Homo-oligomer: A and B are copies of this chain.
Amino acid sequence: MSKTITLAHGNGGAENNELISKVFYKAFKNDILVKSEDAAVIHNGELAFSTDSFTVSPLFFNGADIGKLAICGTCNDLSMMGAKPKYLTCSVIIEEGFEIRSLEKIVRSMKEELAKNGAIVVSGDTKVVPKGSVDKIFINTTGIGEIQYKGISSNNITEDDLILVSRDIGAHGATIFAAREGMDLETSLKSDCTSLYPQVEALINAGIKITALRDATRGGVSAVLNEWAKQSNICIEVEEDKIPICDEVKGICEMLGFEAMSLANEGTFVLAIPKEDAQKAIEVLHTFEEAQNASVIGKVTQQYEQKVILYSPWGTKRFLDTPTGELLPRIC
């Protein structure tokens, strides 16, 4: 590991994993932390507990703002453990001189998104720092959810499961990129930022068996699939033309050489569902406007150890690796 922190250490990919394991896990190690996925499972398996800090730039962008993102991000982490988001804390660090009107707009977005989750903010903290100590505003949200479906774990995926995504991928990353480049007015592209609990709840209520869920934030679908391949000691084989990608995201990727599979999402999740329930899961997801493109994208095999393989429509194949380097800092 290098002697100083680099932007790649926050990419949600390989360097990020190395920093977390060599610095944080090494010091804090305990059974719950080691098993913790999107959220930790605590209190006799009753509650999920998860934290996220949001540093996104710009603060306002097509489809969302830092406030909506801060609620979706933490509530989605809880949802991915089968938990209903219930109690959140909200801690803000604000730069001196920040407009109170902008703060109010952000807080209104948070309020609206909380309602969609049926969650409330029960405690908070407000810090103000001198100009230059922080860029505008950073928000931390930490949440507790009540687990409705037990046993979701990325350690348990087997050849009996299929791999699904809940919608077209990469919209959040592409939107933030477009906003920074001033391209956001010329495109209908918008962030996928959404609260996922309603979709998870519908899957649970439909009686669908769930092996693993993960929202594909930093590092995108690539990071999730590679982590799952390692944790469950499996090979995940994906058919490239089954992966839904909208035209705007395709365009940005082609123009700039990005890989849509590595772009961040904020309302798109990957599912490992037993084969017999996969079609029903797709049908349930399709009842949601945001999940019209939900698709089965791959299967689980033992062809290679802990690898993700991407098959092209022309019959060629390649390994899809955990993303490295820093594509876009301050994406969330």
Contacts and interface: CB of A to CB of B under 8 A. Distances in A.
Interface residues of A, number: 77
Interface stretch (A83-91, A169-177, A244-252, A307-315): A83-91
B33 A123 contact: yes
A118 to B, nearest CB: 12
A39 B91 CA distance: 13
A183 interface: no
A47 B121 CA distance: 15
A111 B24 CA distance: 10
A5 B2 CA distance: 38
Nearest to A107: B27
Interface string A125-146: 1111110111100101010100
Contacts of A8: 128
Nearest to A1: B100
Contacts of A133: 55, 57, 134-135, 330
Nearest to A146: B43
22 contacts: A2-B100, A5-B95, A5-B96, A5-B100, A6-B128, A7-B96, A16-B126, A19-B126, A23-B100, A24-B124, A28-B121, A30-B122, A33-B123, A36-B122, A43-B47, A51-B125, A53-B91, A93-B138, A127-B332, A129-B329, A133-B135, A140-B142
Interface of A: 1-10, 16, 19-20, 23-24, 27-28, 30, 32-33, 36, 39-40, 42-43, 47, 49-53, 55, 57, 87, 89-101, 103-104, 107-108, 110-111, 114, 120-130, 132-135, 138, 140, 142, 144, 326, 329-330, 332
Counting from the closest, the 7 A-B pairs by CB-CB distance are A10-B128, A51-B89, A142-B142, A40-B122, A140-B140, A40-B123, A28-B121
Given A10-B127, A49-B123, 20 more contacts: A4-B96, A5-B95, A10-B126, A19-B126, A24-B126, A27-B108, A30-B120, A32-B120, A40-B122, A43-B144, A49-B144, A50-B89, A53-B91, A53-B93, A55-B93, A55-B129, A89-B142, A93-B138, A133-B134, A133-B135
